[in-house]
Amino acid sequence: MTSIEPLWGVKEVSEFLGVPIKMLYQWKWQRIGPPVKKVGKYLRYVPAKVRAWAEQPDEQAA
């Protein structure tokens, strides 16, 4: 049986990415940043998706 990694809250994602919690809420509102799910009134993140998002190369200016 495979175990599922628990979802992260904004505190865990903030610590992992090194950004303020407020920025995560701004990113959600602007529809940017790592993929997020709303569970009840809470924002939750799939750790593997946050890691994949963080590893994406930055867009280069032309």
What confidence category does residue 4 fall into, taking pLDDT thresholds of 50, 70 and 90? confident
DSSP notation for 28-52:
HHHT-SS--EEETTEEEB-HHHHHH
Beta-strand runs (E) in 1-62: 37-39, 42-44
Pairing between strand 37-39 and 42-44? antiparallel
Tokens of 4: 């599922």
The three-class DSSP label of residue 8 is strand
Q: Where are the domains of the chain?
A: 10-55
Say what the pTM is.
0.84
- Give pLDDT tens digits for 8-56: 999 999 999 999 999 999 999 999 999 999 999 999 999 999 999 999 9
